[in-house]
A and B are shown apart, each in its own frame.
Chain A
Amino acid sequence: LSTTTTTKKRSLTQETPSMKNVEEIRNRVILGEFGVTNVHTTDFPGNYPGYDDTWNVEKFQKNFRIDVVHLDENSMEFDMVGIDAAIANAFRRILLAEVPTMAMEKVFIYSNTSIVQDEVLAHRLGLIPIKADPRLFEYRNTEEEGSEIDTIQLQLKIKCSRNPRASKDSSDPRELYLNHMVYSKDIKWVPIGNQADVFADCCIGPVHDDILIAQLRPGQELDIVMHCVKGIGKDHAKFSPVATASYRLLPEITLLEVVEGEKAERLKQCFSRGVIDLEDINGTKVAKVVNSRLDTCSREVLRHSDLKNVVKLGRVRDHFIFTVESTGILPPDVLVTEAIKVLMAKCQRFLNELDSTIME
């Protein structure tokens, strides 16, 4: 099969219906009434005669763009356009499971007389996000003793007692007892080695102060020492740095014919708010697609027999709307850059391995 390396279309005005169909197959996912079709990437060299689909760095760099829509300290939303799903998904998987963080791994329980079992308490402590930059620490070697470069030591020491100043007939535990709710703000950092100097300005501890760990009653106490180590989400979900990271494809809604009046009103109700607007043209209300990005693609319109042939629903296959929500350990833009670096490191690892094999 020989493919000629000509540029794709002859001219836009001479586009035949089959040519438009090919373009649609190449870069749109079609949302039909009974299923979603055209999902997989098919533009590999040799599949489409007349198209040169070989990897072209200049073409990729020209078409690729990133638009940051929203960014604050905990979450960000950005668009990645012009990349394939395989690579976008790789970034998403890495954000969830392979960006390292610090979390409590070893919990030394010296005294736990609370109603919460030791292992349940240890599990809950492990899930608390710890505000420490994992890039400043190293992975801990399991055989060695923990040192200042790979371990953070935290302590939780709290005892519940009866409040002597409570009134005699109150039944509110907040009045009757002192320290009866153990929050994450009660966790204190114990610097080891030179950590006190290195991390003098940034206090290491839980990200949020108000995570309830356990409840106590008078006489019960907790005396626990915790060691935090560096790990990745693949090992245990407590190491995952994101609350969640997800992406969706940009929806595309095309009206195949003019929709007016009451039908337009019903069409507007079928989509999320803000997607379809009714314009006033010569006295009648005509439906127009204003912002298809807001749509959640429920395909409600396909349930109505008179409306389902009026629209064509689809998604743009190379436009990804990423939403990254951080747990607070690292800001979300730092997380995305770290995820990209992890993928580069994976490629480099195998390149080094290939080179060392060839040189043998």
Chain B
Amino acid sequence: MAAVKALNPKAEVARAQAALAVNISAARGLQDVLRSNLGPKGTMKMLVSGAGDIKLTKDGNVLLHEMQIQHPTASLIAKVATAQDDITGDGTTSNVLIIGELLKQADLYISEGLHPRIIAEGFEAAKDKALEVLEEVKVTKEMDRETLINVARTSLRTKVHAELADLLTEAVVDAVLAIKKPNEPIDLYMVEIMEMRHKTESDTQLIRGLVLDHGARHPDMKKRVEDAYILTCNVSLEYEKTEVNSGFFYKSADEREKLVKAERKFIEERVQKIIALKNKVCADNGKGFVVINQKGEEKYTYIEKCGNPRSVTLLIKGPNKHTLTQIKDAVRDGLRAVKNAIEDGSVIAGAGAFEVAVADALVKHKPKVKGRAQLGVQAFADALLIIPKVLAQNSGYDPQETLVKLQTEFKESGQLIGVELSTGVYL
């Protein structure tokens, strides 16, 4: 039968319908795991390993990576989520949900005899139309701080609790604005994210400067310096081996001592030069101040109040490792969201509004598609609606009812309508 069994007798083989069923069930399995994550009212997942390691997350990508996925199709979907994360930085949960739903809808038609290839054609056509709708519906506007705050807040509120999200929102937006250079793509590496164990997370802050994760080398070093000059050098002040293969042979303890002294002298001369430079330069005024902070093993050096900070640091504080990781993940996603907003220059309404609009447009567009591929378009449209449905469900409202309300409102007003999660009423 299958040649693969010759290579691996334990391989499981499925064909045609069975294979398709296997793939679809994998996708739906993943969908079930992740659906409760979606949106600010989604459930946070706490993963406790057998050994007691705790991870707190709502990020779809993180969850998928923590799980041990053995099914090859599920593994593939997880890779899609990773790609989504690499390119956009967020939206992995939505991604997995849509994939699951696309397959589920397709399954309905396939079980009636429709060939998968035709559905795929329908999907392609629907995708093109959906992109067109996106272009029409998006709002191009000036990315002022207010707008960016909204974008960031949306992302952050799905990852940490509301108060913390609001605190982080400002920090995140200011961080990106601080490093943004005109006419150049935003380099998020310029935003350093440092973690610090602290009693509460509400002291997380943006530092316009750097926080280095090492401290004083010598107990006599000053703990606080203002108006400091900072020397960055790429010359080593340590004993190093030679570039060329060399050896030192000595016959007596004296000769060895001489080597040691010579090595020391070489380094001392370097240090003297640095001291001379310092004396020359620090006669005048400088900028910035340096503070050194130490707690247990973790030592920090703050370099703040720099004249023109080209890079900033987001100092994340939290009581334990899993909180720190949770906040760090959220901040990363928030930064990506803000960056994307600035670079795209446009936003759209959230809360499932876009999906409702596209679904409607696709249904209208259907007749223009030839043949049975129309069914594929329908499937695509229905699949997208999973987003507003799940959002409603996670907030505790009836998904069908909410969806019907949304679609009616949209038809009547022509404006984008999304799910208002606190009240279930549409906005």
Query: Do chains A and B interact in one complex?
Result: no
